[in-house]
Chains A and B, each alone.
Chain A
Amino acid sequence: MNDANGHEASHIAGIVLAAGSSARFGKTKQLIHWRGMPLIRHVVIKAIEADLSPIIVVVGSQKDEVTAIIIDLPVEIVHNPEWEFGQSTSLVAGLNALNGRQKGCIFLLADQPQVTVPVLRSLVEAHALTSAPIIAPLVLGQRSNPVLFDQVTFADLMEIKGDQGGRAIFSKYPIQWLEWLDQALLIDIDTPEDLIKLDSL
């Protein structure tokens, strides 16, 4: 039993990191409303629209509230009970939920609601052409999120400890930069004012 190309369909997964408690922000960021929807829902819908598959949402802090917001969407929700030990634990929880058939994954941040379908699709396309181990947007010379990791990096990602993200393994691989002009991607939502800044762009 083959498909036309003699291989099973494989995809780039989307792992949405939505477990943090947003200590600096003052309240759980992923629940905040912006343009009519909680931030987390914005991000998950972008992942669906970009046709990432499967989509894993890692929840932790206020997991029931976060889960309730996205329960109706075709995503898999994974609870990370160790979320307080830092972002790496969510990375690992997300990767563990993949079934091993993906060619790679993109980590999406719950506090980056301004992520766009084109940037996600461009990462996937770039990967289809080069199979580079790590592909990240470069906006006006600055590195940005979201980042695509090829499956060859998964073992190293699983080894990351503490409160660091995938960037911890950037030094181990050649990075392919995706030139991108959307300045909004550079904005970190660290304070409520940052959301206002996002609206003014």
Chain B
Amino acid sequence: MSLLGQSVARIDAASKVKGQALYPGDINFPGQLFMKVLYAQRPHAIIKRIDVTAAREMEGVLIVLTSEDVPNNEFGLIMPDQPVLCGPSSKPYTDRVRFIGDKVACVVAETEQIAAEACKKIIVDYEDLPTLSDPDQAMDETAPLLHPERDSNIFCRYRIRNGDTEKAFNLSEVIIEGDYRTPAQEHAYLQPEAGLSYIDELGRVTIVVAGQWVHEDQEQIAHALCIPLDQIRVIYPAIGGAFGGREDMSVQIILALATWRLHQRGIDRAIKIVWGREESIVAHHKRHPFHIHAKWGATQDGKIIAAEMKMVADGGPYAFTSTKVLGNATVLSTGPYTVPNVKVDSYAVYTNNMPTGAFRGFGGPQVAFAVEMQMDKIAEALGIDTVELRRRNLLQEGSLLSVGTPLPPGVSIKSVVEQCAKSAGWISDKNWNHPRRSWIMSPSKKRGIGFACGFKNVGFSFGAPEQCTARIELQGGRNIEKAIVYHSGADVGQGTHTVMAQMAAEALSIPLEKVQMIVSDTSQTPPSGSSSASRMTFMAGNSIKGAAQLALEKWSNEERPAIATYQYRPPKTSPMDPETGKSEPNFAYGYVAEAVEVEVDIETGEIEVIKAICANDVGRAINPQQTEGQIEGAIVQAYGYSVLENFIQKDSQVLTRHLSTYLIPTIVDIPQKVESIILEYPDPIGPWGARGMGEMPYLPFAPAIIDAVHAATGVWFDDFPLTPERVLRGLGKIE
């Protein structure tokens, strides 16, 4: 029987249930030292002077690091626009702090307490600069520049010009304009950032940390420290959630820097750092808040013929992955619909707010909100059922994207939409409709049903180098006794190592017990790319399949052990044309639709989600239980985004620095019921047909909720989260 499609127990289940799995914060080395970071805590200023004398002289302090200790004081995943430590250095403008979580100094001491005390003794003289908290203002030509070496705070822009929107608006019988705002969101992984560093037995600076891409961490450390790549080793132990929040550097470079500098002084002791929750919240990036203006036109029979969008993403003070997030949002700006005339202008703008970067959905949820709201409003204006309007415009096999090129084969959105709608009570007659989308439970409680759908890319986009490599070693004599799979892919909690083991066993036709995984260690495992972009099952699967095939060939040629390495490269993608956006942005997509039933308490403004139905085409569910877990997890996280999580920044200070003020969903909040409809329309180039799916169920949730609230109350909310205060204001009950 095939191992694929079996919900085998996770290979890490026992160790996690018993508490034996070690996360970075659980690991200790004899004689280890502790590190603490001094943060700017002010949004925009020039550092005039740093005096570390008192800190350095404290008993128990081994080293105090400032900008002058960083060999190449810059880093960044897409572009190196961020100083490792702010302060004067050979690179211009590193003497500025640009958000409250910018790092100014690090102290390494015998104990955590001493390191914390020493941080307080560091004297920093600042000259405050004007704070830019509003991206729209920061775009203005007269606004002060966050990075004076650049000529604008707009650090990325894209355009799509396809067809003639002006002409199409003239032909439109209905034109809907909307102004939408989406909030920042904190990743709130259960395990805040932590790590250890030491010099390993081969003299390498070794970092044990939770991340999403070991080789990228390694490169960024080597770049800042100016030491050869092979002198840096990055290892991931158990990882307590990531969601995109660990794609950029947190403690990696500063740990490596401290270990390297102490080693130069003849001190080789391990260094440990563990961030508290508040540190985690102020020092790592957030989901991009977007401001989207949309103007869409449709004919009387419900054909969308024009879409014009302007999007501004708050990029925070450094690029992080903003350029890619914005690109993704731009490509998805007409949703899973065929729109012949499209004009999009999108901008990522530097501000002094929290940095923004990767977060499950990667620009998709923001733009899906605007798109789906537009569809709902057009359906309302035309008197066409919301599902029916979508059906009339959905992408099909061979459809052209707004960027002028066809979708890769395997377009399943129509079936996905229909199966979700059916499960939620829609009836397919000639036209689709729902007999009853709202009702009143009691004088204060109203219920409504909402619908939304979406799609998202799998894998890196826009010509970014994309590959994934696996190595397999087969041991034994006559029969294969053991297969060792070497893979760098990060298991951030989603269970990817289990799925990799299943795919390896399947490809080698051996029992799962014979597969051993060696994972996420740059000194042992070949480059895999990141655990992001819903790509790991797809990319790792193809790499493991290839390596298994090669290893089996060697095995049959009597090689013992039989060792094979295989690099999988998907079809090439291309960047957007700067004027028209024309491109082949992605090589694969996943499709999703959701229906949500909510109960709105019109007296308290509270929203309860009674039921969420998610139909998700995953191509092939390698491990259905893990797949279902991803759907439920995405819905819970998207519920937080839509209803509960109110990340407040005022004058670029974060007011919600703890989980007592920034409320994430708990068991009492989450939807009472999540119905996962796992669909399996194979992706022609996916391993065993599998598509990526980790992000897709996140995308339609906010618009589905807001559609349901509209069904229940008749009120549209163009921004969220739907906190009781916002709901009551929308209902006209408070000012």
Task: List A residues at the B interface (Cβ < 8 Å).
Answer: 1-6, 9, 36-37, 45, 48-49, 51, 72-74
Spot the interface stretch: B94-102, B128-136, B394-402, B621-629: B621-629
Contact B441 A48 (CB under 8 A): yes
Q: Report the minimum CB–CB distance from A38 to chain B (whole Å).
A: 13
Count residues on chain B whose CB falls below 8 Å from chain A CBs: 25
In the docked arrangement, what's the CA distance between A49 and B442, Å?
11
Q: A4-B627, A73-B439 are in contact. Are A51 and B676 (CB under 8 A)?
A: no
Residue of A nearest to B425 (CB): A74
Contact B442 A1 (CB under 8 A): no
What chain B residues lie within 8 Å of A9 (beta carbons)?
423, 675
Residue of B nearest to A53 (CB): B611
7 A–B contacts, CB within 8 A, in A order: A1-B419, A4-B628, A5-B624, A36-B443, A45-B441, A49-B441, A51-B673
| B349-398 with Cβ < 8 A to chain A | none
| B632-675 with Cβ < 8 A to chain A | 672-673, 675
What chain B residues lie within 8 Å of A1 (beta carbons)?
419, 679-680
Q: Report the minimum CB–CB distance from A154 to chain B (whole Å).
A: 24
With an 8 A cutoff between CB atoms, is B677 at the interface?
A: yes
Please name 12 further chain A to chain B contacts, defined as beta carbons within 8 Å, in addition to the given A3-B675, A4-B627, sorted by A numbering. A2-B624, A2-B678, A4-B678, A6-B624, A9-B423, A9-B675, A37-B442, A49-B441, A51-B610, A72-B436, A72-B439, A74-B439
What chain B residues lie within 8 Å of A49 (beta carbons)?
441
Residue of A nearest to B625 (CB): A4
What chain A residues lie within 8 Å of B419 (beta carbons)?
1
In the docked arrangement, what's the CA distance between A4 and B676, Å?
7
Q: Report the minimum CB–CB distance from B550 to chain A (whole Å).
A: 33
Residue of A nearest to B423 (CB): A9
With an 8 A cutoff between CB atoms, is B14 at the interface?
A: no
Q: A51-B611, A74-B425 are in contact. Are A4 and B624 (CB under 8 A)?
A: yes
Residue of B nearest to A4 (CB): B628
Residue of A nearest to B628 (CB): A4
Residue of B nearest to A2 (CB): B678
A3, A5, A51 — most chain B CB neighbours (10 Å): A3
In the docked arrangement, what's the CA distance between A138 and B623, Å?
42
With an 8 A cutoff between CB atoms, is B440 at the interface?
A: yes
Contact A4 B610 (CB under 8 A): no
In the docked arrangement, what's the CA distance between A72 and B675, Å?
25
Residue of A nearest to B632 (CB): A4
Contact A3 B425 (CB under 8 A): no
| B571-618 with Cβ < 8 A to chain A | 610-611
Q: Report the minimum CB–CB distance from B42 to chain A (whole Å).
A: 49
Q: Report the minimum CB–CB distance from B691 to chain A (whole Å).
A: 15
In the docked arrangement, what's the CA distance between A122 and B679, Å?
32
What chain A residues lie within 8 Å of B628 (beta carbons)?
4
What chain B residues lie within 8 Å of A5 (beta carbons)?
624
Q: Report the minimum CB–CB distance from A153 to chain B (whole Å).
A: 26
What chain A residues lie within 8 Å of B441 (beta carbons)?
45, 48-49
Q: Report the minimum CB–CB distance from A163 to chain B (whole Å).
A: 33
In the docked arrangement, what's the CA distance between A1 and B616, Å?
11
In the docked arrangement, what's the CA distance between A9 and B673, Å?
12
In the docked arrangement, what's the CA distance between A57 and B443, Å?
22
Q: Report the minimum CB–CB distance from B672 to chain A (whole Å).
A: 7
The 10 closest A-B pairs by CB, nearest first: A4-B628, A4-B624, A72-B439, A4-B678, A73-B439, A4-B676, A74-B436, A3-B677, A45-B441, A3-B678
Count A/B pairs, Cβ under 8 Å.
40
What chain A residues lie within 8 Å of B610 (beta carbons)?
51
Q: Report the minimum CB–CB distance from A181 to chain B (whole Å).
A: 23
What chain B residues lie within 8 Å of A48 (beta carbons)?
441
In the docked arrangement, what's the CA distance between A28 and B631, Å?
48
What chain B residues lie within 8 Å of A73 (beta carbons)?
436, 439
What chain B residues lie within 8 Å of A36 (beta carbons)?
443
Contact B676 A3 (CB under 8 A): yes
Q: Report the minimum CB–CB distance from A68 to chain B (whole Å).
A: 14
What chain A residues lie within 8 Å of B621 (beta carbons)?
4
Q: A4-B627, A4-B628, A9-B675 are in contact. Are A72 and B440 (CB under 8 A)?
A: yes
B440, B442, B610 — most chain A CB neighbours (10 Å): B442
Residue of A nearest to B676 (CB): A4
Q: Report the minimum CB–CB distance from B248 to chain A (whole Å).
A: 33
Q: Report the minimum CB–CB distance from B451 to chain A (whole Å).
A: 15
Residue of B nearest to A42 (CB): B442
Residue of A nearest to B621 (CB): A4
What chain A residues lie within 8 Å of B442 (beta carbons)?
37, 45
What chain A residues lie within 8 Å of B679 (beta carbons)?
1
Residue of A nearest to B624 (CB): A4
Interface flags for B274-316 (1: CB within 8 Å of A; 0: not) read: 0000000000000000000000000000000000000000000
Residue of B nearest to A73 (CB): B439
What chain A residues lie within 8 Å of B439 (beta carbons)?
72-74
In the docked arrangement, what's the CA distance between A6 and B676, Å?
11
What chain A residues lie within 8 Å of B624 (beta carbons)?
2, 4-6
In the docked arrangement, what's the CA distance between A6 and B672, Å?
21
In the docked arrangement, what's the CA distance between A1 and B423, Å?
14
Q: Report the minimum CB–CB distance from B148 to chain A (whole Å).
A: 54
What chain A residues lie within 8 Å of B631 (beta carbons)?
4
Residue of A nearest to B415 (CB): A1
Interface flags for B431-444 (1: CB within 8 Å of A; 0: not) read: 00000100111110
What chain B residues lie within 8 Å of A6 (beta carbons)?
624
In the docked arrangement, what's the CA distance between A9 and B425, Å?
14
In the docked arrangement, what's the CA distance between A37 and B443, Å?
10
Q: Report the minimum CB–CB distance from A55 to chain B (whole Å).
A: 12
What chain A residues lie within 8 Å of B677 (beta carbons)?
3
In the docked arrangement, what's the CA distance between A4 and B628, Å?
6
In the docked arrangement, what's the CA distance between A4 and B627, Å?
8
Residue of A nearest to B677 (CB): A3
Contact A51 B672 (CB under 8 A): yes
What chain B residues lie within 8 Å of A4 (beta carbons)?
621, 624-625, 627-628, 631, 676, 678
What chain B residues lie within 8 Å of A2 (beta carbons)?
624, 678, 680
What chain A residues lie within 8 Å of B423 (beta carbons)?
9
In the docked arrangement, what's the CA distance between A45 and B446, Å?
12
In the docked arrangement, what's the CA distance between A45 and B423, Å?
21
| B409-467 with Cβ < 8 A to chain A | 419, 423, 425, 436, 439-443
What chain A residues lie within 8 Å of B625 (beta carbons)?
4
Q: Report the minimum CB–CB distance from B602 to chain A (whole Å).
A: 16
In the docked arrangement, what's the CA distance between A4 and B425, Å?
20
B625, B631, B675, B678 — most chain A CB neighbours (10 Å): B678
In the docked arrangement, what's the CA distance between A48 and B610, Å?
10
In the docked arrangement, what's the CA distance between A2 and B618, Å?
11
What chain A residues lie within 8 Å of B680 (beta carbons)?
1-2
In the docked arrangement, what's the CA distance between A47 and B473, Å?
58
What chain A residues lie within 8 Å of B627 (beta carbons)?
4
What chain A residues lie within 8 Å of B436 (beta carbons)?
72-74
In the docked arrangement, what's the CA distance between A140 and B625, Å?
42
In the docked arrangement, what's the CA distance between A4 and B678, Å?
6
Residue of A nearest to B631 (CB): A4
| B512-556 with Cβ < 8 A to chain A | none
In the docked arrangement, what's the CA distance between A45 and B675, Å?
22
In the docked arrangement, what's the CA distance between A2 and B611, Å?
20
Residue of B nearest to A6 (CB): B624
Q: Report the minimum CB–CB distance from B402 to chain A (whole Å).
A: 30
| B667-707 with Cβ < 8 A to chain A | 672-673, 675-680
In the docked arrangement, what's the CA distance between A3 and B627, Å?
10
In the docked arrangement, what's the CA distance between A51 and B621, Å?
28
In the docked arrangement, what's the CA distance between A36 and B441, Å?
12
Q: Report the minimum CB–CB distance from A70 to chain B (whole Å).
A: 9
In the docked arrangement, what's the CA distance between A6 and B621, Å?
11
Q: Report the minimum CB–CB distance from A5 to chain B (whole Å).
A: 7
In the docked arrangement, what's the CA distance between A5 and B629, Å?
12
In the docked arrangement, what's the CA distance between A73 and B675, Å?
22
Residue of B nearest to A5 (CB): B624
Q: Report the minimum CB–CB distance from A36 to chain B (whole Å).
A: 8
Residue of A nearest to B438 (CB): A72
What chain B residues lie within 8 Å of A37 (beta carbons)?
442
In the docked arrangement, what's the CA distance between A1 and B422, Å?
14
